[in-house]
């Protein structure tokens, strides 16, 4: 029953919704988030952590775990690529 609910929720959460929440992210990140089975809540929690707003959880603050942590890693990996300096030709 719980798996059916998760599958239905993930089906309603598509690439367009991910881009709406996350903004301009790379295609591989969208695909990875979809493959993770994340829902809007997972992405929202990961984005809050990325923005340093982990205090939005109030007294329930705890480290990210599960799918939200996986989404965080996917989004953080994309930012690592953005921070790299381009290779200069010799």
**pLDDT for the residue 90:** 42
**pLDDT for the residue 40:** 93
Alpha carbon of 44 to those of 53, 56, 62, 83, 89: distances in Å? Answer: 11, 11, 15, 23, 40
**pLDDT for the residue 55:** 58
**pLDDT for the residue 8:** 55
pLDDT, tens digit, 9 for 90 and up, residues 27-69:
999 999 999 999 999 999 999 988 886 655 555 556 789 999 9
Q: With bands split at pLDDT 50, 70 and 90, how would you rate the model's confidence at 72?
A: very high
Q: What is the C-alpha to C-alpha distance for residues 27 and 39, in angstroms, rounded to an integer? A: 17
Please give the span between the terminal C-alpha atoms of the chain, in angstroms, as a whole number.
60
**Which long-range CB contacts under 8 A does 18-27 form with residues at least 24 apart?**
18/43, 21/47, 22/47, 22/75, 25/75, 25/78, 26/78, 26/81
User: pTM of this prediction?
Assistant: 0.69
> What's 63's DSSP letter?
-
pLDDT, tens digit, 9 for 90 and up, residues 6-33:
555 555 689 999 999 999 999 999 999 9
Structure tokens at 63: 């480290």
């Amino acid at each position: 029953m719980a798996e059916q609910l998760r599958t239905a929720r993930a089906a309603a959460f598509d690439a367009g919704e991910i881009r709406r929440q996350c903004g301009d992210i790379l295609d591989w990140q969208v695909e990875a988030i979809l493959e993770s089975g994340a829902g809007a809540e997972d992405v929202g929690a990961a984005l809050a952590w990325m923005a340093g707003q982990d205090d939005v959880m109030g007294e329930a603050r705890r480290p990210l775990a599960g799918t939200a942590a996986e989404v965080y890693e996917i989004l953080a990996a994309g930012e690592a690529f953005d921070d790299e300096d381009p290779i200069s030709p010799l």
